Structure 1
Amino acid sequence: MNKQVLITLGLFITQFGMAQLPDTVKTDIPLTPSKSDTLKTDTPLITPSQKIPLPPFRDDDTTSKAEEEPFFDYKSKIPDIQSQIDSLKKIMRLYEKTREMPTIKEELLDLIKVPNRLHRITLHNGSIVLGEIIEERLDKIVLKTKIGLLVLDQESIMMIEEELPPVAVVAFIEEPQVEIFSGKEVITGSVINTGKKRGDFVRVIANLWTKTTELAAKDSAFINGIKMTYNTGVKTDTALEPDQTASFRVEVHLSDSLKVQYRTFDIRWEE
């Protein structure tokens, strides 16, 4: 009895709830999906609340193709470039070691072209000018100097003297001494530089003559001068500065059959 009453009450409540729903809800929801609804469900729509996964990150260990295969193989060229740099450094060190700046005393003056004919001009104010007179007028003269052309008024000039460029003048201090031995003669002596410039590679030449003016023998020797190192790297001890003296010794070998009647001596040097 009670069970039948409960069933009847449940059916009543169900019918009452269905009656309360709006008609639109009842009619808009189809019981079976149509063909158009099936197409719509095949292409899902993206709603704002839906999350889209990001593409996977590249590992740090992986490299791109451009990095794996560079256009220019610079790694193989670096040792060659370093070798060339080291070679250039060695050349520059050698160049700096051998290069020498000329000194003001001699070498720098030799680089300046000096006129062959010099004039020493003394002015009324006490000044002295050296140069070559290239033009002379009644009222002025034009002088070529080491620093360029110079124009002087005749009224300012007190005296004009010709002066030669400085040169080395090497001469014997006294007559050379001759020692006669079997098969040779030894000539000794001393020389002096009376000029105003250093003489380089000074040597004494001895000539032995017969009574018929025939050259019996000839030889030469360098003097025992000061030591010099030139810009070319040549080292020698045959130089002679102005007002300095040096000794020499020359050995001349000759045949015993030749009789020496007289001797002549020469001095040669370079500047």
Structure 2
Amino acid sequence: MKSFFILIFFSSLIAQEADSVKTDSTTSIDSTLFPEVIIEKNKAEKLTDENYFFDFKDDLQGLQIQIDSLKRVIRVMERKKAIPGINEELLNLIRIPELQHRVELTNGTVVIGEIIEESDLEIIIQTTLGQLSINKDKVVNIEEEKPPTPKIELMSEPFVSVYPDHEEITGMVKNSGKARADFVRIVAKLWTPETELAASDSAFASGSVQEYSTGVISDTAIEAGATANFTITVPLKEGSATIEYRTYDIHWTESD
């Protein structure tokens, strides 16, 4: 009986040790799963503003070279850029009509454009906004709308001073038109009683100074409504025929 109790006691001890071993095996942590912690005692040196881990200056120089190269390429492309051609048919489509007709309607409206077609019942007029078809019973009057132009006229009969070898003719002209006249020139012609030309000469009017697109600067322009003086010296040959009368021609141009 005593040996039976001793056997039970040893059995319980063995069971407790087994449980203890099992508990230790389940709760123990494998230290190899985590890296080893290293504590640095010496403080690492910090890079200064002047020291970089790459060559900063060399990179800037390389970028500058690339930028300069791109600029040169762009300049070459701009010089070689050609003006695109415009199709002639497209120009005809966007052609601005000549505003040469003034059409007055019964309601007081005035249409200015170019009459491109006309019949007994209607007229078709091309305007800056497009083509308009207008019934003729709505039309009161049609007039030609002429563009503004200069018109140079003598203000009075020129004054003539007669000398043995020449005549000096002075006068004044006026631009009664609606546009500037350029390079105004007055031509004087002297005639004999037999209507033969005895002498002739011309002079430019003393007008306003005008600079033209060609670079020419002249003082022979007369603005609309303005006046200008002129003096013409006509040489006479020795023993020339008697001068019976004089005529004057006025010439001008319209320049930009």
Identity of aligned residues (%): 45
Equivalents in 1 of 2:128, 2:223: separation in Å?
A: 24
Question: What's the C-alpha RMSD, in Å, of the aligned pairs?
Answer: 2.8
1:1-271 aligned within 5 A: 114=98, 118-146=100-128, 148-258=130-240, 259-271=242-254
Q: Deviations over 1:10-49 (max 9, x none)?
A: xxxxxxxxxxxxxxxxxxxxxxxxxxxxxxxxxxxxxxxx
Q: Show structure 2 runs of 5+ residues with no match.
A: 1-68, 80-94
Structure label with greater radius of gyration:
1
Equivalents in 1 of 2:243, 2:119: separation in Å?
A: 60
Q: Deviations over 1:47-98 (max 9, x none)?
A: xxxxxxxxxxxxxxxxxxxxxxxxxxxxxxx9xx8xxx8xx99xxxxxxxxx
Name the CA shift for 1:246/1:113 in 2 (closer, same or farther; >3 Å). Answer: farther
- TM-score scaled by length of structure 1: 0.54
Letter in 1 for 2:245: Y
Contact 2:97–2:126, Cα closer than 8 Å, also in 1: no
Name the CA shift for 1:246/1:112 in 2 (closer, same or farther; >3 Å). Answer: farther
Contact 1:114–1:146, Cα closer than 8 Å, also in 2: no
Contact 1:193–1:240, Cα closer than 8 Å, also in 2: yes
| C-alpha deviation, 1:168, in angstroms | 1.4
Contact 1:131–1:146, Cα closer than 8 Å, also in 2: yes
Contact 1:170–1:267, Cα closer than 8 Å, also in 2: yes
Equivalents in 1 of 2:116, 2:136: separation in Å?
A: 14
| C-alpha deviation, 1:255, in angstroms | 1.2
Equivalents in 2 of 1:114, 1:240: separation in Å?
A: 26
Q: Deviations over 1:209-256 (max 9, x none)?
A: 222322221110010111111111111111112211111111111113
| C-alpha deviation, 1:187, in angstroms | 0.5
Equivalents in 1 of 2:174, 2:96: separation in Å?
A: 27
Equivalents in 2 of 1:176, 1:222: separation in Å?
A: 15
Residue in 2 aligned with 1:32? none
Q: Show structure 1 runs of 5+ residues with no match.
A: 1-77, 90-110
| C-alpha deviation, 1:190, in angstroms | 0.7
Residue in 2 aligned with 1:12? none
Moved more, 136-145 or 204-213: 136-145
Matched residues, number: 166
